Amino acid sequence: MGKVIFIGAGPGAADLITVRGARALARADVVLFDALTDPALRELAPNARWVDVGKRGFADSTGQATINALLVRHAREVPLVVRLKGGDPSVFGRLEEELEALAHAGIAGEVIPGVTAALAAAADSRLPLTRRGGGRSVALTTAMTREGALRGGRGADTEVFYMAGRQLAALARRLRDAGWNDDTPASVVSRAGWPDALASMHCIATLGQASVLHSGRPTVVTVGAGAAALAAMSRADSESPLLETGQAQVETPSA
């Protein structure tokens, strides 16, 4: 009987995986990988069998029951199976269901954390999620429920919404309904953690403008204290509307 290690691949480029994750991946006999993991990670385990079990949104390319069965089957056949998940396995990664499937089959499991998209978005936009004195709490949520309902809550100083890119104008309305003011800052980052990441700064009143810029790209929206522009950034923006932060572009559109 083999073992399964769940590894967070990080939110984008291959070098965002942790050192521990990379070392464990290199020992894998079979790798079950998500759709958004960087193909360059294959270089870390060139002799492993790689099995695509990716999903896109709520339209499953590979059903969860199938993934569970594959984990169990391969763990019975080889010493080490790696379940490679985008971001961090414990954040919107259905980790609970897969751990339960292993437990029911009597198979050992281990979890190696990874960098989640909210942290990569904060890095790409140069906007810290927590702020001294005014941003003490952060909430992570999916913008859309499995039933297709759009969520817009206010449970923390900073709210981060995953998978929000297609309905930014509607999200802004939900945020107003939840009690956020129109002038509340909002940051939108698409392809967080990748070399072509895009970050744009808005307020709730202008959030819908980001839809065109980020169209068709995995998107993270940060609202509240963690989206407020830094004083130094505000001065730079007054001189130039487009900045480069590392390899990510940060754009501040007009209201």
88 included as an active-site residue:
no
Please enumerate, as own/partner, the contacts of 46-55 that have beta carbons within 8 Å and a separation of 24 or more: 48/82
Residue type, 58: F
85 included as an active-site residue:
no
**Pick the catalytic residue: 34, 38, 88, 124?**
34
**Pick the catalytic residue: 3, 29, 55, 60?**
55
- Distance between first and last Cα of the chain: 60
**Pick the catalytic residue: 85, 88, 144, 163?**
163
User: Strand order in 138-142's β-sheet?
Assistant: 138-142, 158-162, 219-224, 185-190, 198-203, 248-251, 242-245
CB 112 within 8 A of CB 88: no
Separation CA 243–CA 255 (nearest Å): 18
163 included as an active-site residue:
yes
Catalytic residues: 34, 55, 163
